[in-house]
Amino acid sequence: MGDMSCLLCNHDHEDGVHLLGNCPYAQEAWIAASLQPVVGTTNMKDHVLAISQSVPKEKFAQVLMVLWSIWTNMNSQLWENKRHRPMDAVLLNFGWHNDFIKTNGSEAAAQPHQIMHWIKPELGWVKCNSDGAFISGTRRGGCGVVIRNESGDFMAGAPKPCRQWTSSFHVELLALLEGMKLAETLNYPKIIFETDCLLLVHALNQETADISSLGLILAEAKEIMNRH
DSSP category for residue 63: H
Q: What is the pTM of this model?
A: 0.53
pLDDT of residue 126: 94
Tell me if the domain spanning 126-226 has CATH number 3.30.420.10: yes
Series of mean pLDDT values for 10-residue runs along the chain (228 residues): 74 79 86 74 70 78 83 83 78 65 48 59 92 72 87 85 73 89 90 86 76 77 83
pLDDT of residue 112: 42
33/61 Cα distance (integer angstroms): 12
**CB-CB contact of 39 with 21 (8 Å):** yes
**CB-CB contact of 61 with 68 (8 Å):** no
Domain borders along the chain are: 16-104, 126-226
